[in-house]
């Protein structure tokens, strides 16, 4: 025997499987690269230690075979940087791109298959070396599957579109099960649902349904067909609607019809783990949003627990078999599935009221249940410990050959090897720990599924506050105990008793107490740590009033706080609400976000936070109305300039703000009127799409470029020369009047454009009677655009905002006073004696009154509003929000404001 062979035999002898290790090392040695360091040196100096490498080879025949087939993979693993830390998606993708010079899709995705096998080898090594936490291993395995899915999907999507045409519909792949929870193991099936957005007809003989099912079949076949490069992942589509009998891909509407009419409890449990993994993120978000009430019903059926227990009994009887009930770590008595059933059942029961519970990960959901006191702390800890242990055992069983096995072996030798690989001194000590965990899980499972939901206490409340005092009393009872009545500490109930009068006092001062109370409940349930929140609010009565006013004032602001309760503390910290932020301030903060040109969710989230900050400043009267307009406009301007720069178009486009954006007078829900100066139409389109693109964080803003030459029929971007030609020869008077509010905000041609705009604006004023043209346009607007009730229409109706603005603009043109801001223009007109002092004061007061009506109405849904609500009840709510006291008092002030504006216009236009 050669010295090298003796060395190999010596190394193998101390391992868990000497035969397998010796065979593997001998095969590696035979084909070891001549230009590499000696095999003995590589193994003895292996970065994770030679014991980790030999341990992997001894417990995994598939990993041993991979190393024997290509010894270069061992050299790759021996690079200290390869296994030093967890790989995120970016690093994994970079590794894939470097892996092969051949196209990924060539030869049945051969390079993707080989890369996947190499990554599985790396992940397995990190796990057996015990340098990767459980969550790291499952996250990396899940990322690996997502990347493989994405690469295959993108290839077939492009292929079908090039050959068959492109349907005008989105497509997404939803993962369920362990991939949905970022919990994939070494041999998990990958549970998927294929979904497309709309039905349609692509060609006479090809529907959207057929096209997307061809795409889905191509993806499925790629994963199914065996290949010498190795397998990808096993795909399982049985969780889709109608299971194996249903089509592979369905439209969004078809999904909604199915779940609404036929969805069963087991499908609710499955969808708890659903998330989009490739394709359209927006479609995945839309699907999950539409099915929120199905996945997390507001109230569960009385027999829910028994129904889920029956599902588990069927698994025990039909799938596992009695002989394996105590050895199957996944489906057996006290196995992983029972932990998942406990967790998902409590998620299903409480998820509608507790947004923190809407987690796809089992461990994260268990942590949320602990934070919400919905599962006794001892039971929760036991389930988490058991879950980690059982998953570790499952992984060690599957690492051997990447086969889907969950049963602890009965053979004494195999059992001993399994125990030693998990660091147990003997098979008996391993079995003892295994049975202890499984018995603990079974005990908790039986306790949960024999329990029932308790009813909430009903409180006495002042019927004068609420329209439905009975419902409010029930809601307050649920606030104290939680709708489920699960394990709310006595201390929490005591604190709520102190908080209740503060809350009722705050609710009595808002415009809509019933809706505000419901929103407050949603916030409490989303906050999670009910006891901590109640302590905070009881100690800070001003915060209770601020929350009540916020929930009353704006549904979007409420939804944002419910999604991100931490924003409450973030924004009310010292000094956060006191400052007025400029355009420069916002851009400096945006620069710290570290964005990529393809993902602007951080900008969307920043905008949401700042809008909430502005709303709180508004409600606390830390800013007056003109300053609110200015701050709102500064935020919009900063984000628009930042986005244009991030897209690389800063030197391509000059952006001109128009309308209220130009006047820095924006309020809640307004679109941004803009003009684009330059040559690059693509750059403007790219900017408009990026600004409007929705995501889970919402969209940024809609850009309205209809004030450009020839309106919607004209090109989106015009050169400076084109603008000059249009303004000089073809523009109508109202288009030149609109330039009163033109304000360039960015780009290389700002000064040139403003010089041109002012020149043609002055020329238009000199060549005709501005009052005549403005009066004609005002009459046309009041005739054609009125919403139907002139009294309700405070924008375009007689004496409305447009009439006030047109009067100011007509006076500006006549007197050659260029100022895009209406209120500043009124001050200048008074200084120039174009308006008497009392006229200017009256016009500003009445115009601001209407703008405040607009602002208060718009912030309710963060949407532009131009009319009063028609119902007296809603008008009463508006009056209270404006601080007018009664509806009658508000209506009197509203009527007088419009009458005075109209009378002043009549006087000057006469």
How many angstroms separate the CA atoms of 232 and 114, rounded? 9
**Could you write out the DSSP letters of every residue in 345-412?**
HHHHHHTTT-GGG--SSHHHHHHHHHHTT-S-HHHHHHHHHHHHHHHHHHHHHHHTTS----BPP-SH
Phi-psi region of 710 (alpha: psi -120 to 50; beta: other; left: phi over 0): left
Confidence category of residue 201, pLDDT binned at 50, 70, 90: very high
Span 236-240, average pLDDT: 88
- Residue 483 pLDDT exceeds 50: no
Give pLDDT, residue 454: 39
Q: Which helix (H) or strand (E) holds 195?
A: strand 190-196
Nearest 5°: the CA angle 660, 613, 696 is: 85
Looking at per-residue confidence, does 572 or 133 come out higher?
133
The gap from C-alpha 3 to its chain's centroid, in whole angstroms, comes to 61
Round to whole Å and give the CA distance between 651 and 641: 11
Which pairing describes strands 703-704 and 672-678: parallel, antiparallel, or unpaired? parallel
Q: What does the alpha-carbon distance between residue 254 and residue 157 come to, in Å, rounded to a whole number? A: 22
- Look at residue 739 and give its three-state secondary structure: helix
Regarding beta strands 201-203 and 206-207, do their DSSP bridges make them parallel or antiparallel, or are they unpaired? antiparallel
pLDDT-wise least confident of 19-28, 320-329, 536-545, 738-747: 320-329
Query: Per residue in 73-102, pLDDT tens?
Result: 999 999 998 988 889 899 999 999 988 777
Q: Where are the beta strands (DSSP E) in 719-816?
A: 743-746
β-pair type (190-196, 249-251): parallel
> Taking the mean position of all CA atoms in its chain, how far away is CA 74?
40
- The mean pLDDT of the chain is 88
Q: DSSP letter at 836?
A: -
User: How many Cβ atoms sit within 10 Å of the Cβ of residue 365?
Assistant: 24
**Tens of pLDDT along 462-480?**
777 888 888 888 788 777 6
**What pLDDT does residue 172 have?**
97
Q: What is the H or E stretch that residue 571 is in?
A: helix 566-572
Among 187-196, 598-607, 654-663, 675-684, name the one with the lowest average pLDDT.
Answer: 598-607
Q: Which two tokens stand for residue 221?
A: 């076949």
pLDDT for position 689: 85
pLDDT band at 491 (very low <50, low <70, confident <90, very high): low
Segment 242-252, tens digit of pLDDT = 776 678 999 99
User: CA dihedral defined by 864, 866, 867, 869, rounded to 10 degrees?
Assistant: 10
Mean of pLDDT values over 322-343: 84
**757-796 b/e (C-beta count within 10 Å ≥ 16 → b):** beebbeebbeeeebbebbbebbeebbeeebeeebebbbbb
pLDDT the model gives residue 487: 42
Closest CA to 396 of 435, 424, 428, 436: 424
* Per-residue confidence (pLDDT) for residue 455, from 0 to 100: 38
898 pLDDT exceeds 90? yes
pLDDT band at 229; cut points 50, 70, 90: confident
Q: Is the pLDDT of residue 23 over 90?
A: no
Residue 10 CB coordination number (10 Å): 10
Q: Alpha-carbon distance 351 to 349, whole Å?
A: 6
Please give the average per-residue pLDDT across 859-887, as a whole number. 91
Using CA atoms, how far apart are residues 681 and 689, in angstroms rounded to an integer?
12
Collapsing DSSP states into helix, strand and coil, what is residue 88?
Answer: coil
- Mean pLDDT across the stretch 812-838? 94
Strand blocks (E) in 693-790? 703-704, 717-718, 743-746
């Amino acid at each position: 025997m050669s010295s090298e062979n003796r060395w190999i035999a010596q190394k193998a002898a101390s391992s868990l499987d000497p035969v397998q290790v010796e065979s593997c090392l001998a095969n590696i040695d035979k084909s070891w690269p001549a230009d590499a360091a000696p095999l003995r040196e590589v193994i003895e100096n292996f970065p994770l230690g030679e014991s980790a490498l030999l341990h992997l080879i001894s417990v995994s025949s598939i990993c041993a075979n991979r190393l024997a087939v290509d010894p270069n993979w061992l050299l790759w693993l021996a690079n200290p940087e390869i296994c030093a830390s967890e790989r995120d998606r970016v690093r994994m993708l970079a590794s894939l791109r470097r892996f092969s010079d051949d196209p990924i899709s060539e030869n049945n995705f051969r390079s993707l298959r080989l890369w996947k096998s190499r990554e599985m080898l790396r992940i397995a090594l990190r796990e057996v070396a015990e340098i990767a936490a459980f969550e790291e291993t499952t996250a990396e395995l899940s990322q690996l599957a997502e990347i493989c899915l994405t690469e295959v999907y993108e290839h077939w999507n492009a292929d079908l579109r090039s050959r068959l045409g492109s349907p005008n519909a989105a497509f997404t792949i939803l993962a369920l099960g362990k991939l949905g929870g970022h919990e994939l193991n070494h041999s998990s099936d990958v549970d998927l649902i294929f979904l497309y957005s709309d039905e349609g007809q692509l060609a006479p003989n090809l529907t959207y349904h057929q096209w997307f099912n061809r795409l889905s079949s191509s993806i499925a076949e790629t994963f199914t067909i065996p290949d010498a490069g190795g397998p990808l992942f096993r795909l399982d589509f049985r969780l889709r609607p109608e299971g194996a009998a249903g089509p592979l891909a369905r439209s969004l509407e078809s999904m909604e019809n199915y779940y609404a009419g036929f969805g069963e409890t087991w499908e609710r449990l499955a969808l708890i783990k659903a998330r989009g993994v490739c394709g359209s993120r927006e479609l995945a978000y839309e699907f999950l949003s539409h099915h929120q009430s199905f996945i997390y019903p507001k109230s569960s059926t009385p027999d829910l627990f028994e129904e889920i227990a029956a599902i588990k009994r069927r698994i025990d009887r039909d799938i596992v078999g009695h002989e394996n009930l105590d050895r199957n770590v996944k489906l057996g008595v006290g196995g992983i599935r029972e932990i998942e059933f406990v967790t998902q059942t409590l998620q299903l029961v409480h998820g509608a009221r507790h947004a923190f519970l809407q987690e796809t990960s089992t461990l994260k959901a268990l942590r949320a249940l602990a934070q919400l006191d919905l599962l006794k702390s001892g039971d929760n800890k036991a389930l988490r410990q058991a879950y980690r242990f059982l998953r570790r055992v499952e992984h060690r069983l599957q690492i051997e050959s990447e086969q889907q096995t969950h049963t602890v072996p009965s053979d004494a030798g195999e059992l001993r090897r399994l125990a030693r690989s998990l660091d147990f001194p003997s098979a008996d000590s391993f079995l003892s720990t295994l049975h202890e965990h499984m018995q603990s899980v079974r005990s908790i499972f039986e306790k949960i599924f024999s329990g029932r939901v308790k009813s909430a206490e009903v409180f006495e409340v002042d019927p004068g506050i609420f329209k439905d005092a009975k419902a409010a009393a029930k809601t307050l009872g649920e606030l104290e105990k939680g709708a489920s009545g699960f394990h709310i500490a006595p201390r929490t109930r005591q604190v709520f008793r102190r908080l209740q009068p503060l809350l009722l006092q705050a609710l009595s001062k808002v415009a809509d107490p019933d809706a505000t109370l419901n929103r407050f409940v949603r916030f409490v349930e989303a906050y999670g740590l009910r006891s901590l929140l109640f302590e905070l609010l009881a100690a800070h009565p001003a915060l209770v009033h601020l929350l009540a006013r916020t929930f009353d004032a704006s549904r979007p602001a409420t939804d944002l706080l419910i999604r991100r309760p931490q924003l409450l503390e973030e924004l009310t910290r010292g000094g956060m609400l006191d400052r007025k932020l400029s355009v420069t301030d916002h851009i400096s903060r945006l620069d710290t976000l570290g964005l990529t040109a393809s993902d602007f969710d951080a900008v969307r989230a920043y905008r949401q936070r700042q809008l909430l900050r502005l709303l709180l400043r508004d409600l606390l009267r830390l800013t007056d109305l003109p300053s609110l307009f200015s701050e709102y406009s500064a935020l919009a301007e900063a984000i628009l300039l930042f986005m244009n720069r991030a897209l690389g178009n800063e030197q391509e486009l000059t952006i001109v703000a128009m309308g209220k954006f130009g006047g820095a007078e924006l309020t809640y829900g307004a679109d941004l009127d803009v003009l684009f100066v330059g040559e690059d139409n693509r750059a403007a389109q790219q900017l408009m799409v990026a600004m409007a693109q929705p995501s889970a964080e919402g969209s940024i803003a809609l850009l309205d470029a209809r004030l450009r030459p020839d309106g919607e029929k004209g090109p989106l971007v015009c050169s400076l020369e084109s603008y000059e030609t249009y303004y000089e020869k073809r523009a109508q008077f109202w288009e030149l009047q609109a330039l009163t509010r033109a304000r360039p905000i960015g780009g290389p041609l700002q000064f040139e454009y403003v010089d041109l705009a002012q020149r043609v604006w002055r020329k238009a004023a000199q060549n005709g009677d501005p009052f005549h043209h403005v009066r004609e346009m005002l009459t046309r607007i009041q005739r054609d655009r009125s919403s139907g009730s002139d009294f309700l229409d405070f924008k375009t109706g007689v004496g409305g905002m447009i009439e006030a603005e047109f009067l100011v603009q007509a006076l500006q043109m006549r007197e050659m006073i260029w100022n895009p801001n209406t209120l500043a223009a009124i001050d200048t007109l008074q200084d120039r004696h174009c308006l008497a002092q009392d006229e200017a004061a009256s016009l500003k007061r009445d115009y601001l009154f209407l703008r405040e009506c607009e602002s208060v109405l718009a912030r309710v849904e963060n949407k532009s509003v131009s009319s009063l609500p028609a119902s007296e009840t809603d008008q009463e709510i508006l009056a209270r929000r404006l601080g007018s006291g009664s509806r009658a008092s508000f209506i009197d002030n509203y009527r007088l404001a419009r009458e005075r504006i109209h009378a002043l216009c009549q006087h000057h236009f006469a």
